[in-house]
Amino acid sequence: MPKVTGRPDIPTVLVTTLLAGPVLAGLAGSLLPALGYLPVLGYDKFSTTPFREFISTPGLGRSVLLSFGTGLAASVISLAIVLVFIAGWSSTRTFRLLTRFLSPLLSIPHAAAAIGLAFLIAPSGFLVRLFSPWATAWTRPPDILVLNDPYGLAMTFGLVAKEVPFLFLMTLAALNRPHIQDYFRAGASLGYGRMASFFKVVLPQIYPLIRLPMLAVIAYSTSVVDVAQILGPTTPSPLAPRLVEWMNDPDLSKRLMASAGAVLQLCVSAAALLLYLMLERLCAVVLKLRYASGRRHKRENLARKSGLFVMVAIISAMVLAIVVLGLWTVAKSWWFPAALPQRWSLNRMSDAFSMGGPALSATLAIAIVAALIATALTLWLLEARSFRNVRTGRRLNLLIFLPLLVPQVSFLFGLQVLFLITGLSGTFTSVLLAHLIFVFPYAFLALSDPWKRLDPRFAKAAASIGASRVQIFWKIQFPLLLRPILVTFAVAVAVSVGQYLPTLMVGAGRIVTVTTESVALASGGNRQVAALYALLQLIIPFAVFSLAAIVPSLIFRNRSAMRLER
């Protein structure tokens, strides 16, 4: 294909503006109020007051430590679980079976997962009910702080349960690189155990591909709001949920304080990232020293079995959490310590459906439009780059990951202020734009690998018989990639549905989705309604993922090469 230069690369410029623009503008919009400058509210002089007021908030140190500790611990534990499991079990039957469970778990929004897990592990939750009163002798919920515990253990657990599927699928994609399976064999034929082959031979080669997703997980976990509100400690809360509270305070001067906090949140997440990078270096050095030792590590049974056990435990917890959500939505009365509801009813479900109708349609509208735009833009970007023979290198990857590497609160505060000033706050457009910032990176992540794997000779063959660039795209590339394109669309929908903070901040209470509703309801007493909204969050991605699986099978039912490999 000809190399085109000189003309501006429109999609790259567009993506840069879409991603870097809001992040940088948002950061500036948080920094200025933090320095006391917010003219719309009448603060037009720089001062250190917001910072001083913020620093003197009681319990601040503990909040910071909680954010830092739970976030970093959850990320590192998740990665360890994923790596040990993959090292011990990849390309076995067990592995393929569990993979089938892990992929759908990825599409569960954080808030829904947290609510389900809360109903599972709470003192009055499903697990305690299963063993009460016959084993525990409890006839009323025990007075123990399992949920919202002061050390954030429940919150860490919730984060791990959600990040494990994500890191797992990222690592799985990295293992798809050419020849990687041969390196497993090379290790084994030299006498190395499965796990030793993975850690010494395979992991060093694929780690660069897992690194950015891992950093995104750290940035997210150290600044998470919805999971923290549902499962996290409350006296005090971690930093991010406290900031959101101040931001929504009727006392507008608290916004300056919250902005100062947003700047601190940026530092907290940056410190966590930095500590992780140091840890990573250390591990690399230790590993390197061991390459030459020749130790085969053949006794790996215990490690393999523990890896499997932990993975199965996480999958079971998530599946159980969804089942419990389902039970609550059809329960009319379900008193402690009954393991199952005493009376069932579908009435509440239809009530809540009519009540949640507007939220559901808003969620759906935003998700579908955002997913359409993100998928189209990703295709445009990938097509333009391969047409120009530009490789999607590190710089572009870093740019696309930028919104995921900066804590959401840190720039959403500023973005909210900007939308307020421009009068866009609380509109469909502004919420859509805020969602796109987070949806696009995942769409790109989902599609760039399948695009790279598409044999370029198909396009060349079409070009050589006179097909135009437009024809090549619509007649060759698009149909060949229909399956991954639909999966990308589904991923994008799932990501959009799961967005809590962007909807809350930019929607300003006027745009309400099932996700913002369910987080608000989670702390209330009505489990039935909270469960129903959480379930509504699941239904949309599940429906879209099912469509993404069914449509290509129908279209290509007579094309055996277009089926998935076994």
* Residue 533 · residue 520 · CB < 8 Å: no
CA distances from 370 to 448, 499, 536 (A): 18, 12, 18
- Please spell the DSSP secondary structure of 135-198, one letter per residue: TT--SS------TT-TT-HHHHHHHHHHHHHHHHHHHHHHTTSTTHHHHHHHHHHTT--HHHHI
Instruction: Write the DSSP string, 201-234.
Output: IIHHHHHHHHHHHHHHHHHHHTT-SHHHHHHS--
| Residue ranges in 50-109 that form contacts with other proteins under rule CB under 8 A | 93
Nearer to other proteins, 298 or 557 (CB): 298
Interface residue with other proteins among 139, 189, 464, 558 (CB under 8 A) is 189
Q: Which is nearer to other proteins, 183 or 428 (CB)?
A: 183
Contact status: 185 vs other proteins (CB under 8 A): yes
Q: Does 201 bind other proteins (CB under 8 A)?
A: yes
Least Å from the CB of residue 155 to other proteins:
36
Per CB under 8 A, the list member of 204, 358, 456, 509 interacting with other proteins is: 204
Residue whose CB is less far from other proteins, 197 or 537: 197
For the record, the structure tokens of 529 come out as: 């309604």
- Classify residue 390 by its DSSP letter: -
Interaction between residue 3 and other proteins (CB under 8 A): no
Give yes or no for residue 560 binding other proteins (CB under 8 A): no
Cβ neighbours around 430 below 10 Å, total: 25
**Mask for 320-359, x = binds other proteins (CB under 8 A):** ----------------------------------------
The residues, any chain, with a CB within 8 Å of residue 270's CB and separated by 6 or more, are none
Which of 110, 129, 162, 200 binds other proteins (CB under 8 A)? It is: 200
Min dist. Cβ of residue 285 to other proteins (A): 13
Q: Report which of 66, 62, 72 is spatially closest to residue 278, judged by C-alpha positions.
A: 72
Place of tokens 């155990």: 193
Rule CB under 8 A: is residue 564 a binding residue for other proteins? no
Q: Can you tell me the distance from the alpha carbon of 168 to that of 206, in angstroms, rounded to the nearest whole number?
A: 13
Q: Choose, by CB under 8 A, the member of 193, 261, 403, 414 that binds other proteins.
A: 193
Per CB under 8 A, which of residues 235..264 are in contact with other proteins?
A: none
Which span sits near other proteins by CB under 8 A: 14-22, 189-197, 239-247, 482-490? 189-197
Inter-CA distances, 449 with 105, 173, 550, Å? 21, 8, 21
Per-position x/- string for 354-393, each x denoting binding to other proteins as judged by CB under 8 A, each - no binding: ----------------------------------------
Q: Which is nearer to other proteins, 3 or 93 (CB)?
A: 93
Q: For 501-504, which contacts have Cβ atoms below 8 Å and span 24 or more sequence positions?
A: 501/225, 501/226, 501/244, 501/408, 501/409, 501/412, 502/408, 502/412, 502/431, 502/434, 502/435, 502/437, 502/438, 503/366, 503/431, 503/434, 503/435, 504/244
Choice from 54, 68, 192, 411 touching other proteins (CB under 8 A):
192
Residue 303 binds other proteins (CB under 8 A): no
In the block, tokens 């990849």 appear at: 90
- List 43's β-bridge partners, or say none: 38
**Interface with other proteins, residue 45, by CB under 8 A:** no
> By CB under 8 A, which span of 144-152, 193-201, 492-500, 510-518 interacts with other proteins?
193-201
Q: Binding segment for other proteins among 79-87, 177-185, 347-355, 369-377 (CB under 8 A)?
A: 177-185
Give the binding site for other proteins (CB under 8 A).
93, 179, 182-183, 185-194, 197, 200-201, 204-205, 291-296, 298, 566
